[in-house]
Amino acid sequence: MNTPIESTGAPRRVLVTGGSRGIGAATALRCAQQGWDVAVNYARDAQAAEAVCAQVRALGRQALAVQADVADEAQVLAMFDTIDRTLGPIGALVNNAGVVAENQRVADMTVQRLQRIFNTNVVGSFVCAREAVRRMSTLHASPQARAAGGGRGGAIVNLSSKAAVLGAPGWYVDYAASKGAIDTFTVGLARELALEGIRVNGVRPGIVDTDIHASGGWPDRAHTSSALIPMQRPGRPDEVAAAIAWLLSDDASYTTGATLDVAGGR
Of 265, 262, 221, 223, whose CA–CA distance to 241 is shortest? 262
Please answer whether residues 156 and 98 qualify as being in contact, where contact means their C-beta atoms are separated by less than 8 angstroms.
Answer: no
Q: How far apart are CA 98 and CA 120, in angstroms?
A: 6
Work out the angle at residue 201's Cα, subtended by the Cα atoms of residues 179 and 84, and round it to the nearest 5 degrees.
Answer: 100
Q: Is 254 a catalytic residue?
A: no
Q: How far apart are CA 28 and CA 245, in angstroms?
A: 9
Distances (CA, A) of 149 to 84, 88, 94, 103, 158: 10, 8, 20, 45, 24
Query: For the chain, first and last CA: distance in Å?
Result: 31
Q: Can you state the angle between helices 111-118 and 173-192, rounded to 10 degrees? A: 30
Q: Between β-strands 13-16 and 259-262, what pairing exists: parallel, antiparallel or unpaired?
A: unpaired
Please answer whether residues 93 and 157 qualify as being in contact, where contact means their C-beta atoms are separated by less than 8 angstroms.
Answer: yes
Q: Which of 42, 172, 175, 254 is catalytic?
A: 175
Tally: H helices and E strands in the chain: 11, 7
Q: Which residues are catalytic?
A: 175
